[in-house]
Amino acid sequence: MRRLTVCWFPFSHSFLYRLLHTGVMSDVHVTEHPARIGILLDYTGGRLLFFNAERGLVLFTIRHKFTGAAHPAFALEKAGALTLHMGMDLPEFVKHS
């Protein structure tokens, strides 16, 4: 089983998202904190996309050949709120990529 870990670290002038996948750490810097982050799994295309849900900007893409079931799991490191919206329409930018 492979795991993907996403962590968010705020800095004074930017925001850092740190993604860990198959032992490789990748840093993604953004200049504004997205209020909502979308996650899209393109199972047959072998892509997992993280995007700014308001602006439709891709933050990070992971390419992976999926061969078994994909099981999402979400957790918060500190007390807070996490809201999941399932089955939303595909964003326009994804339909054309």
Q: Is residue 96 part of a domain?
A: no
pLDDT value, residue 96: 64
Q: Is residue 32 part of a domain?
A: yes
For residue 66, pLDDT beyond 80: yes
Structure tokens belonging to residue 3: 């795991």
Starting at the earlier edge strand, list the strands of the sheet with 57-63: 37-42, 47-52, 57-63
Q: pLDDT for 31-48, tens place per residue?
A: 888 888 888 888 999 998
pLDDT value, residue 34: 83
Q: Is 79 helix (H, G, I), strand (E, B) or coil?
A: coil
Which residues fall within 8 angstroms of residue 56, CB to CB, at 6 or more apart? 91, 92, 93
Give the model's confidence band at 28: pLDDT under 50 very low, under 70 low, under 90 confident, else very high: confident
Q: Is residue 1 part of a domain?
A: no
CA 37, 93, 57: angle at the middle one, nearest 5? Answer: 40
Q: How many domains does the chain have?
A: 1
Give the model's confidence band at 10: pLDDT under 50 very low, under 70 low, under 90 confident, else very high: low
Strand ranges for the chain from DSSP E: 4-10, 15-21, 24-30, 37-42, 47-52, 57-63
Q: Which domain holds residue 47?
A: 7-76
* Average pLDDT estimate for 54-77: 84
